[in-house]
Chain A
Amino acid sequence: MMSLRVCYRKVYKKSFVRNGFRFSAFTPVLFPIDHTVMCKAAQSICTSLSAQASANDKKPLVTESKPVRFKDGGRGSPHSFTVFSAGSAKERSNIMQNKVKTSPESQYESLKKREVNVPTVPLGAKEWSKLKEEFKRPGKFEEFMMEQMISTKSDINVAKSLLTFAAKEQCGISYKLLLKYLALCVQQHQIAEVYDVYEIMKNSFKSFDTGAYSLFIKGFSQTDRWKEAITMLEKLKKSITPSPRNYGECIQGAIQHRDKNLAWALYKEMLQAGLTPCEETIQSLFNAELDLQDDAFRNNLIDILNDFRDHQIYPGEPLMQSIKSWFESTPNESWKGHISSVSVNGYCQNCKQQLESIHLMPEEYNSLKDIFIHSVIQGHDTFRKTTPQELQDFQQFVRSRPPYDVVVDGLNVAFISNKGAHSKTLLDVVTSLASGGKRVLVLGRKHMLQESRTWLRQHIKLMQQRVDCFFLDNISEDDPFLLYASLNSGSHCCFLTRDLMRDHKSCLPDAPTRRLFFKWQRGHQLVIPFYTPGSKLRLQPIMCYDTILQRTNFSWHIPFDKMGVNRASFEVPKTWLCLQKKH
């Protein structure tokens, strides 16, 4: 913690210099992407505020942004509390719901299902028919029994005796029942039995359904008859796109039987079909035997890692282990991998190397700005979210002012505490933000100007004296304007809201833009985790590094999902794999 504080002081000094520079500029300037400077720009808003507050002898409104720990403690990582880090949505929902208890209804359900017990030893026909008489729906007895066997993973011989009973009683076995038996065999890796079922089914049916094909592919791919799995995949392709799992099992089979060309051909075909490969598939490729891996093979694996970077995919823990051991087993190069985390200011705890900045490149920034105004605010129909007149007024307003440092979502901030008047909460927050010499813009709606119990005119007037305000129509959406004003002010500008902006992200036209927006959002969104009137204002620190797979000539940093952590789609993992090459 001590070292962190020292770091903050340094940042503060730098940002002070930068402040002077910024305010002399009139047009919104995109600062040159100097890594260290950019990284600290966003940070400066949190930290310089805190420094200011401690210097002020007024009521300290802002404290040092030290980690606010939730009830279960910080879990080791220095910043387990930002809204975008993995598992925080889950934590919040737990706090809100006060720990979900297992409802008695679900227990009752499970009791109800266990009405009929699956026998543990093979039964004769008489015993089966006795059981069947006890069962309520005689038409579905065999299928129900087989399903129960699959879920309880019972012995395959019991299933065989059931089949014998069914074959005799009904003069045959339905396709459905046979399919379920097949699933049981595949589940328990009874290869010989799978072969037998295959022979029987091949003789009696011209083709199979997708479920049967999938089961056969799964059953065959690990055995000597894996070639047949490939032909089945071909058959499946004729009528329907095979699932990623189908492909994955074929690839695993090919790798196991040392046919690397086929494996990679299938992998590329799968990508071309627009499917996302399963983690197990990629893991099996990384786990392939060493003598199989030539240069092309290794390059393909590096390509997979590049794909991870491009699509912001984070591997799970088992895959991470495979990647680590693959790097460590590389011949002629001595790699060493460590599990690591990253400090708030973006240094890997293991190798002390600084990670990539979260700030966008100028061209990325400009394209995001353009796309944003086209697809989110205007959309197909400008009247949906606002009116053209209002949009024009707002653009005029933003253009006529020098760039802002913080844009505040007035209504969102006003409602963070339900004690006291909303206008008072907003005024307090805005005052403490502006006290650091920051230029602040507050966005609100026109109804805030009307005197009421929660909106006092004097508060609003005071606020208007201290900062710039813009009031939108009551039926317009304020979030798009917030984002636009923030984007328009340049990359040093942050916005303050608790809204996660997921609906606006979904309005963006394609996945790359969405990822760009998310990256920008992580680097520029300020959040007040909790607030009571009169207390100190705490802001969550902004991440200044990008959580993405990254490499230099001598190192790789790979973020991964820890086991047992539920990561929501708008969160990023906080655990890293740090790989270093020794000279």
Chain B
Amino acid sequence: MRLMNTTLRTIKSSIKILVQEGGNGWSSFKIPHSVTQYRRLMVSQCMKNEDPKSDSNETINLEEWKSILKLGTQSREKEEIQVHEDSSLNGMRELVEMWRLAGRAVPELVTTEQLKVLMELPTKTARKKYLKFLCIKENIKRSNKEKKKEIKSKMEILDQLKKDDTRELKNTFLLKFWDKSMDLMQRWKSAQAMKFGQPIVFDMVYEKYMSRYELENTVRQVMECEGCNRRSDDPFHLYFCSLQTNGPYHKELVKRYMGAWDNILVTTTEKSHVDIFPQDQLVYLTADSPHELKQFDHNKIYIIGSLVDKCQQTGLSLANAKRLNLATARLPLDRYLKWDVGAKNLTLDQMMRILICLKEGGDWKKALSFVPTRKHEGFIERVPTNK
């Protein structure tokens, strides 16, 4: 009789857990083994009270945990749900579940598409990396959701407070300065730059040297560049050169800008920069260059290679510049900074910010404040003069 009670209670409690977790919205995903996720070898509460002797007794029953577990598992077998799916995918899903129980960095919910990507990865390490990536993504998503909820509840309280005291209208000089007006002003400036601004070129020929992730990162950085250029006081005229229509770059840019792609004020062209500009004005910026950029020249056209190289392809952009017989330059990082760790190649948006600052007449110290501080220990105080 007691045993019956035990089993009944276990079933009840586990069902309760299932119901609780079910509220989190994963009913939208197709999860065949929902049970294993929350499975733990359960024992009913009464077991605790039932066995007072081991608490007080001197001799400890070492095998006791086994009997407890066995009792707990008897009820479990009835709950098995059989869902038919592709057998190899199913095996993989089970494995992922078990990895999660074993405490590895694995996401809680895996969609069938993600599983398919996982199956296609060639090595064990690649699979582990992908799962870790999914896990981190999931965690970020979850924490963002929580934050949003918090902010929402705070806003509601604020709104209620506001409603109480904003009965009468105030006397103001301006209407509320909306983002729209800011946008309009920036677009005017950009349009001006399109007409009279100094050109700056993003060389988009590196598509085939990059993996998918690197390409996505590059496009993100290019967008960031466009954004900070638009916000600057005196924007550059941006050129996206050698941008193949319907190539990977183009596709990704259109996807990320969504409708705005046709409206942004940059020049995109399939032509190379050497076809558009006179060769003696072009300067290719690359960290491998033997020449240091002494000062910013307002008559030159600087080229930035839009490339994120996570696998350290040394000399790639230098080779391109050599091939086209262009002048090259690198930032004088060693002259002004006590370099500590990290590669000397900066991200595109850092590069853009440095150039904007130089263009606006800032000195090197101000411009190089955009170099990440983790990479250097500070500025060299007395800058050595050139011999």
- A interface list, Cβ under 8 A from B: 122-126, 143, 157, 160-161, 163-164, 166-168, 170-176, 178-179, 196, 200, 203-212, 238-241, 381, 383-385, 387, 474-475
Contact = CB atoms under 8 A, between A and B. Distances in A.
Interface string B290-333: 10000000000000000000000011101110110000000000
Given A168-B51, A170-B40, A176-B102, 4 more contacts: A166-B65, A173-B69, A207-B91, A240-B127
A203 B65 contact: no
A196 B65 CA distance: 11
B120 interface: no
A171 B47 CA distance: 8
B48 to A, nearest CB: 6
A433 to B, nearest CB: 31
B129 interface: no
A206 B80 contact: yes
Contacts of A143: 103
Nearest to B288: A475
B69 A475 contact: no
A122 B62 contact: yes
Nearest to B77: A203
28 contacts: A124-B54, A124-B60, A125-B55, A126-B55, A161-B60, A164-B61, A164-B62, A167-B68, A168-B43, A168-B47, A171-B43, A172-B40, A172-B69, A172-B72, A173-B40, A176-B102, A176-B103, A200-B66, A204-B72, A205-B39, A205-B98, A238-B91, A239-B91, A240-B124, A381-B316, A381-B319, A383-B320, A384-B316
B279 interface: no
Interface string B48-75: 1001001101001111111011101100
Contact of B73 (A124, A126, A203): A203
B95 A207 contact: yes
Contacts of B40: 170, 172-175
The secondary-structure label for the interface of chain A is helix
Nearest to A197: B66
B64 A164 contact: yes
A174 B65 contact: no
B65 A205 contact: no
B140 to A, nearest CB: 22
Nearest to B44: A171
B92 interface: yes
B95 A160 contact: no
Contacts, number: 137
A72 B40 CA distance: 59
A239 B95 contact: yes
B45 interface: yes
A343 to B, nearest CB: 42
Contacts of B155: none
The secondary-structure label for the interface of chain B is helix
Nearest to A475: B290
A202 to B, nearest CB: 10
Contacts of B94: 206-207, 239
Given A164-B60, A205-B98, A209-B99, A172 B319 contact: no
B101 interface: yes
A196 B290 CA distance: 68
B76 interface: yes
Ranked 9 nearest A-B pairs via Cβ: A209-B98, A383-B319, A175-B101, A160-B62, A172-B41, A167-B65, A163-B65, A239-B91, A164-B65
B63 A160 contact: yes
Contacts of A240: 95, 124, 127
B84 to A, nearest CB: 14
A143 B51 CA distance: 24
Contacts of B124: 240-241
B281 interface: no
A163 B33 CA distance: 27
A166 B40 CA distance: 12
- Of the listed residues A166, A176, A241, the one surrounded by the most CB atoms of chain B closer than 10 A to its CB is A176
A178 B64 CA distance: 15
Interface of B: 33, 36, 39-45, 47-48, 51, 54-55, 57, 60-66, 68-70, 72-73, 76-77, 80, 88, 91-92, 94-95, 98-99, 101-104, 124, 127, 290, 314-316, 318-320, 322-323
Contacts of A161: 60, 62
Contact of A207 (B47, B48, B54, B98): B98
Contacts of A124: 54-55, 57, 60
A126 B39 CA distance: 27
Nearest to A159: B62
B101 A168 contact: no
Contact of B60 (A122, A171, A200, A475): A122
B101 A204 contact: no
A389 to B, nearest CB: 11
A173 B65 contact: yes
Contact of A204 (B76, B88, B104): B76
A569 B320 CA distance: 34
Contacts of B99: 209-210
A204 B73 contact: yes
Contact of A173 (B41, B314, B316): B41
Nearest to A176: B103
A475 B318 contact: yes
Given A161-B62, A174-B101, A240-B124, A167 B319 contact: no
A209 B102 contact: yes
Nearest to B41: A172
A199 B127 CA distance: 30
A157 to B, nearest CB: 6
Nearest to A129: B55
A204 B41 contact: yes
Nearest to B33: A206
A167 B63 CA distance: 11
A203 B101 contact: no
Nearest to B321: A383
A202 B64 CA distance: 18
B102 A175 contact: yes
Contacts of B57: 124
Nearest to A127: B60
Contacts of A384: 314-316, 318-319
A254 to B, nearest CB: 24
A200 B55 contact: no
Contacts of B66: 196, 200
A261 B140 CA distance: 52
B70 A203 contact: yes
Contacts of A125: 54-55
A157 B63 CA distance: 9
A396 to B, nearest CB: 20
A171 B92 contact: no
B62 A383 contact: no
B290 A200 contact: no
A211 B55 CA distance: 34
Contacts of B45: 171
Nearest to B51: A168
- Of the listed residues B64, B65, B94, B99, the one surrounded by the most CB atoms of chain A closer than 10 A to its CB is B65
A238 B92 CA distance: 9
Contacts of B323: 383
B43 A172 contact: yes
Contact of B290 (A157, A179, A474): A474
B200 to A, nearest CB: 24
